[in-house]
Amino acid sequence: MVDPRCLCQKHLCGEHVECHMMAGCINKNMSMKGYISNGLIEIHNIQSRHNQLAIEMLNRGYNHKSPLPEFNSWIEGNINITTNINELKHRCPECKKRIEVI
């Protein structure tokens, strides 16, 4: 849920892929409990997050031709954005640069 403008190419595209994976897992009735309990996903925000990431991809001149498949959504999960920003700054020098600029 970090502002997509802060994400390096690897993390932007990686999170985009994860949105597709989560929608697929939900459609296959796979458990999301681990992702939810570890604060990694907000089920109710997968579609909007995908849209945010797709817009940023297009803004950077990347191709985006993969609409998110329909899936049943429900309100569950909570992501701590501050924790995620700090983690990105610690793990990725490129994201850190982008975060500090924005």
16-74, pLDDT tens digit by residue? Answer: 999 999 999 999 999 999 999 988 899 999 999 999 999 999 999 999 999 999 999 99
Whose CA is closest to 93, among 18, 7, 2? 7
Model confidence at 12: pLDDT above 90: yes
CA dist 78 and 7 (Å) reads 20
Residue 51: partners with Cβ closer than 8 Å, 6 or more residues away: none
The pLDDT assigned to 102 comes to 85
Cβ-in-10-Å burial (0-12, 13-18, 19+) of 89 comes to middle
CA dist 68 and 88 (Å) reads 25
Question: What's at 89, amino acid-wise?
Answer: K
Query: What total number of domains does the chain contain?
Result: 1
Domain of 75 in residue numbering reads as: 4-101
